[in-house]
Amino acid sequence: MEVFLLSIITALLVVYGFKAYRLYPSYKHSIFPDLIPSFLEYFYRVTIRKDASTSSFLKSKIGTHRMTFTTLQNNDHKITSRFVILLYNKGIALISCLDPKGTVSGQTNDKHWFIRRENQTVKIANPKIESDKYAILVKKKYPDLPLTQYVAVGNDSDISKVKCDFIVCHNNEMIRHLLEASTPYVEDEKIIEIFNNANKNA
């Protein structure tokens, strides 16, 4: 009996260890460490609980909240945008996530921004333009909450050459901006009710 139980435990450790190994790179190179700093918590919520709509860290920083993660793809099935939709006491934060690894430059109305790393320059779509398009869908899903848009960039990237009239910040600055939002206060119960109603059939 003990051997049988040990075999099951070993098999589970191998399976979940492999899943953790595959999941960690996408976690590390994203905004997730600044929203859910514990990889064990992230792994548990994503893999076992299959519900990453809350974070113990965010709960301690911004209070009651709910969040979802979305990726958009083009016709070639390549990811073009990554978003975090966060509901909390200041309404909705629609966060467009970038991890460019280099120096980012661009202005509010530019069609494209540029990422420079060593001798290479890469052109990307202005993330605010993509965010504006997605914001229309988010507002339809959550019509009763004010929405604020952000662009969050990897902590190792240089964003000093971005000149915009909207908030572009590093991932580790996101909490401060969320707390400083000047939108009307939303009650805890309303956050949970609106999130549950909008996602119960999802």
pLDDT tens-digit series, residues 82-132: 999 999 999 999 999 988 888 999 999 899 999 998 888 989 889 998 899
Compute the residue count for the chain: 202
Entry pTM: 0.89
Predicted pLDDT at 175: 96
Condensed to tens digits (0 to 9), the pLDDT of residues 143-176 reads: 999 999 999 999 999 999 998 888 999 999 999 9
Instruction: Cite the DSSP H helix spans in the chain.
Output: 2-28, 32-35, 39-43, 56-62, 127-141, 174-180, 188-199
Between 23-27, 134-138, 166-170, 175-179, the lowest mean confidence (pLDDT) is in 23-27
End-to-end CA distance of the chain: 42
Which amino acid is residue 24, in one-letter code? Answer: Y
Structure tokens at 139: 């507002």
Strand order in the sheet with 120-125: 120-125, 112-117, 103-107, 158-163
Cα–Cα separations (whole angstroms), residue 113 to 14, 57, 110: 43, 32, 7
